[in-house]
């Protein structure tokens, strides 16, 4: 964790080649797509009709495209099918339009189009983890939710059903040529999806902020994004058409994606990876249920085993940013997150089928997750089990 202004700071920062942000930005999608190719494979979520405004602009730009819907979390089979479809239709670029799942699928397809081989050659944890040798096929991200920040990350999260775990394809070559973020695209999201994705964005701002890999650039993004979520999430859930709130959430998600790509995540995502692999649970809802318990566990473990760590002060600063109170302590941040998740009706893990009997295998898998490496303190198996029990 590098203090801002430290003359000895050393870090790298990876981002999309070009970020286009703003209400109405979708109007330029056709021209932007034409700059990266002429025959895009358009990867969408389970409802491809949500991508129709994008498709209309691709038609207007006289581009020939192939639509490839991905229902639910992208799996290794989805990626293989997308690569095959792109090859069959001679697609020369990829566009991911949808939530984080569609965009991650688009990333993985783009990577395999130019690197060949099997996805398991490149997946972490359950695969060989080989580096990409070549840049992916040109690809563009058009998010329609505000949470995952996948439009600017350098990993693609894929469900390996045979292993019952989510794993990442990760490379500094992976970021998009263009990330087009138009807050208006999220105005039709229902409140439950808005809440879950918004809390995912919150998690992806908080975890990099307390990570040991934080740097001055990621700190600035997190300090900007945390109060945006705090002031906008309830408003967007109450009124999906509130463009100011949608803009705040889109900026927060974008900042969170940039922050996690460069400073890492933590135990919330370390636990969410096996949970998403073992249960049909939406990623954002899982992160939301885990966030307050992980914050509390980290603070207790830091007090017991790392009293000189800078992370508790970071948690206290985050609490001030979230609550707007100059006197807020770290524990107030935990209480604020608990109250927010309750207010927004975030279901406990048991609502997704998780039981006490599932805790030991979940802990074992979580300890191997790459996200655990950036947690501000190493949590024991017992502490991780307590987190899961409290989130049930």
Q: Are residues 37 and 133 in the same domain?
A: yes
Residue 1 pLDDT exceeds 70:
no
Residue at which a domain ends, from 136, 152, 181: 181
> Measuring CA to CA, which residue among 288, 116, 310, 132 is closest to residue 219?
310
Same domain, yes or no: 31 and 159: yes
Residue 2 has pLDDT above 70, yes or no: no
Query: pLDDT by residue (tens digit) across 194-223?
Result: 999 999 999 999 999 999 999 999 999 999
Q: Determine the pLDDT at residue 304.
A: 96
- Going by C-alpha positions, the residue among 232, 241, 250 that lies closest to residue 190 is 241
What is the number of domains present in the chain? 2
Is residue 9 one of the residues assigned to a domain? no
- Domain identity same for 159 and 257: no
Across the chain, mean pLDDT equals 94
For residues 26-35, give the mean pLDDT.
97
pLDDT of residue 4: 46
Say how far apart CA 366 and CA 34 lie, in whole Å: 42
Are 302 and 343 in a shared domain? yes
Tell me the pairing of strands 155-160 and 165-170.
Answer: antiparallel
Residue 6, pLDDT score:
59
Average pLDDT over residues 279-295: 94
Q: What is the pLDDT of residues 56-101, one digit of tens each?
A: 999 999 999 999 999 888 999 999 999 999 999 999 999 999 999 9
Q: Evaluate whether residue 10 is within a structural domain.
A: no
CATH number of the domain residue 74 falls in? 3.40.50.1970
Phi-psi region of 300 (alpha: psi -120 to 50; beta: other; left: phi over 0): alpha
Identify the domain boundary among 163, 181, 199.
181
- State the residue range of the domain holding 195: 191-391
- Is residue 18 one of the residues assigned to a domain? no
Assigned domain for 68 exists: yes
Is 223 a domain residue? yes
> Domain for residue 115, yes or no?
yes
Which of the pair, 315 or 11, is modelled with greater confidence? Answer: 315
Q: Is the pLDDT of residue 107 over 50?
A: yes
Average pLDDT value for residue range 239-259: 97
**Sign for the pseudo-dihedral over CA of 41, 42, 43, 46:** negative
Residue where a domain terminates, one of 122, 148, 181: 181
Can you list the pairs that 215-220 forms with residues at least 24 positions away whose Cβ atoms lie under 8 Å? Answer: 215/2, 215/9, 215/11, 215/13, 215/262, 215/263, 216/2, 216/4, 216/5, 216/6, 216/9, 216/11, 217/11, 217/13, 217/262, 218/258, 218/259, 218/262, 218/263, 219/4, 220/4
Q: Is the pLDDT of residue 336 over 90?
A: yes
Residue 18: pLDDT above 70? yes
End-to-end CA distance of the chain: 32
pLDDT digits (tens, 9 = 90+) for 296-333: 999 999 999 999 999 999 999 999 999 999 999 999 99
**Same domain flag for 205 and 269:** yes
Q: What is the pLDDT of residue 165?
A: 83
Residue 368 and residue 230 in one domain: yes
On whether both 175 and 204 belong to a single domain, the answer is no
C-alpha to C-alpha distance for 285 and 302, rounded to whole angstroms: 26
Please check whether residue 345 lies inside any domain of the structure. yes
pTM listed for this prediction: 0.94
Average confidence (pLDDT) over 337-344: 97
Distance CA 191, CA 240 (A): 7
Residues 137 and 228 occupy one common structural domain: no
Write out pLDDT tens, residues 341-379: 999 999 999 999 999 999 999 999 999 888 999 999 999
Q: What is the DSSP string of 40-71?
A: EEEEE-S-GGGGHHHHHHHHHTT---EEEE--
| 119 found inside a domain | yes
In this structure, what CATH number is given to the domain that contains residue 290?
Answer: 1.20.1090.10
Same domain, 204 and 83: no
- How confident is the model at residue 8, as a pLDDT? 55
Residue-wise pLDDT tens digits, 127-169: 899 999 999 999 999 999 999 999 999 999 999 988 888 889 9
């Amino acid at each position: 964790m590098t203090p801002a202004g430290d003359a000895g700071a050393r870090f790298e920062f990876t981002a999309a080649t070009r970020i286009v942000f703003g209400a109405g930005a979708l109007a330029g999608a056709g021209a932007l797509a034409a700059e990266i190719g002429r025959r895009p494979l358009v990867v969408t979520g389970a409802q491809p009709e949500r991508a129709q405004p994008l498709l209309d602009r691709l038609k207007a730009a006289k581009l020939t495209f192939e639509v490839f819907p991905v229902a639910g979390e992208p799996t290794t089979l989805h990626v293989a099918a997308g690569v095959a479809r792109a090859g069959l239709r001679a697609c020369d670029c990829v566009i991911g339009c949808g939530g984080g799942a569609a965009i991650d699928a688009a990333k993985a397809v783009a990577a395999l189009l130019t690197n060949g081989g099997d996805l398991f050659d490149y997946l972490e944890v359950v695969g060989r983890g080989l580096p990409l040798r070549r840049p992916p096929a040109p690809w563009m991200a058009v998010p329609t939710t505000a949470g995952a920040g996948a439009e600017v990350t350098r990993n693609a999260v894929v469900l390996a059903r045979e292993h019952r775990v989510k794993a990442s394809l990760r490379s500094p070559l992976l970021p998009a040529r263009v990330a087009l973020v138009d807050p208006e695209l999220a105005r039709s999201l229902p409140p439950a999806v808005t809440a879950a994705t918004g809390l995912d964005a919150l998690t992806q701002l908080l975890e990099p902020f307390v990570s040991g890999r934080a740097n001055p650039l990621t700190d600035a993004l997190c300090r900007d994004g945390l109060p945006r979520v705090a002031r906008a999430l309830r408003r967007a859930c109450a009124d999906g058409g509130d463009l100011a709130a949608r803009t705040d959430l889109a900026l927060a998600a974008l900042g969170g994606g940039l922050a996690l790509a460069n400073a890492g995540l933590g135990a919330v995502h370390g636990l969410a990876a096996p949970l998403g692999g073992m249960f049909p649970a939406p990623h954002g809802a899982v992160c939301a249920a885990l966030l307050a318990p992980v914050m509390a566990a980290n603070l207790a473990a830091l007090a017991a085993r790392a009293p000189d760590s800078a992370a508790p002060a970071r948690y206290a600063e985050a609490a001030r940013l979230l609550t707007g109170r100059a006197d807020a302590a770290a524990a107030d941040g935990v209480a604020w997150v608990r109250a927010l998740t309750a207010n927004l009706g975030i279901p406990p893990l048991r609502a997704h089928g998780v039981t006490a009997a599932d805790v030991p295998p979940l802990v074992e898998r979580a300890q191997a997750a790459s996200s655990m490496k950036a947690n501000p303190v190493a949590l024991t198996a017992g502490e991780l089990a307590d987190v899961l029990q409290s989130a049930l």
